[in-house]
Chains A and B, each alone.
Chain A
């Protein structure tokens, strides 16, 4: 089956719906028509740019170009993970922790899938490697930022409880155990929800996309199952590693809780 290709007039007709949104905003005085127009413009420019870049990268089929694209995506994800929590580890700690965890989790899951299950030739074929890294990154980003936010917020809130254990002679690792567990748990709940709702509440994006592109629904379902396993693995690896790395930065050789290594986000910054 060949996918149905869209022409620009097709897209233009759909954009009329955006005009409806704009009209609604003016009519109901939502004040949303400007942001709506700007966001729609951004979306179109960004997606066209990505489409053109990927077309070039696919044509190049060079491992270096593929790696470069994946690294840029990883860096943006790491920045998002670092920016989310109210609390910042000093000396760009959030960025270092976020980048390590996101890179580790994404590369492990994506390379595992490319070399065992999907197996394109060559295994780094950008047509498979880049979209796969993108999906995994999206989930890794969610998991890692929830976990980091949980740990950094929790350590401030539960300072007295953690220090009470330290003061009674508990090792740092033991004093942090409850918080570490709660943070990872919180980070993994979305993927649990995704899995239980998949196919019943929502038709997952990849499956929908592949059905639209002409794939047999049963084959598309198999693909989706594989991908959700990858996402679950990626989220788990990312949230555990982000929490361990961040917790390590909050202590020292005398197993103290070093909250002086945290600063609160300056107001007015993303």
Chain B
């Protein structure tokens, strides 16, 4: 590679017993959308990049190989947001880093969420509210790479538009997004590149 900055995220031969190998390079501020039939291995790919499932091969972030990071440090930089994110406490607020609560309260209306929801209990949230709050939670640590699994799967058109606008703003600040979606229109709107995953392998389009 010439003397330009290293890629933000680079996968080299990333594979497990279940999927891969995957080779992929993403630039800073780039959004790549992945579509494919259910069971094609889309979530497995995202989970492997976040190092949540056992895997072989290499993943590089800004020219630094993943093995040189501790696993928690890596996952703070490369955040995986599951399609149905888990909640481990009763209340919403403790799921956010204390330092990010104020900023999150300001951000909530941009996703059509009442900031008071942060004081609510998780069990009273609707599926759509949960999904948007999980996204805010993933954004709260300002990660370098976001791995989004169906980020608008439970949302109506209006909320989907709001989420896409917020993600576009993050892209503009240099955050890189790898997004799994079932919606080809969303893939076209968000992804500068659009990849298809079939038979647990990536095929370009």
Chain A contact residues, CB within 8 Å of chain B: 158-171, 175, 178, 252, 254-258, 260
Is B54 within 8 A of A256, CB to CB? yes
Query: Which residues does chain B contribute within 8 Å of A163, judged by CB atoms?
Result: 52, 82, 86
Q: Mark B10-44, 1 if CB is under 8 A from A, else 0.
A: 00000000000000000000000000000000000
**Residues in chain B near residue A165, CB distance under 8 A:** 86, 88
Chain B residue with the shortest CB-CB distance to A167: B80
Which residue of chain A has the shortest Cβ distance to B85 in the bound complex? Answer: A164
- Mask of B66-101 contacts with A, CB within 8 angstroms, 1/0: 000001111111011110111110000000000000
CB distance from A248 to the nearest CB of B (A): 15
Q: What chain A residues lie within 8 Å of B71 (beta carbons)?
A: 254-256
Q: When chains A and B are docked, how far (Å) is the Cα of A23 from the Cα of B77?
A: 73
B86–A256 CB distance below 8 A: no
When chains A and B are docked, how far (Å) is the Cα of A207 from the Cα of B65?
A: 65
**A178 CB contacts on chain B under 8 angstroms:** 88
**CB pairs A–B below 8 angstroms (13 shown):** A160-B82, A163-B86, A165-B86, A167-B50, A167-B80, A167-B81, A168-B76, A168-B79, A170-B72, A175-B88, A256-B54, A256-B71, A260-B54
Give chain B interface residues in 161-191, CB to chain A under 8 Å. Answer: none
Chain B interface residues (CB < 8 Å from chain A) = 50-54, 71-77, 79-82, 84-88, 134, 137-138, 141
From residue A173, how far is it (CB to closest CB) to chain B in Å?
A: 10
B residues less than 8 Å from A168 (CB atoms): 75-76, 79, 137-138, 141
Measured between beta carbons, the chain B residues less than 8 angstroms from A256 are 51-54, 71
Contacts of B86 in A (CB 8 A): 158-165
B72 pairs with A169, CB closer than 8 A? yes
A145–B82 Cα distance when bound, in Å, is 33
**A166 CA / B79 CA spacing, docked (Å):** 9
With A166-B52, A169-B141, A256-B54 in contact, do A161 and B88 touch (Cβ < 8 Å)?
yes
Please, how many angstroms separate the alpha-carbon atoms of A159 and B74 in the complex? 20
Contacts of A167 in B (CB 8 A): 50, 52, 75, 79-82
Q: Return chain B residues, CB-CB under 8 Å to A166.
A: 52, 72, 75
Bound-state Cα–Cα, A169 to B53, Å: 14
Task: Compute how far the CA of A171 lies from the CA of B75 in the bound complex, rounded to whole angstroms.
Answer: 10
Q: In chain A, what residue has the closest Cβ to B96?
A: A168
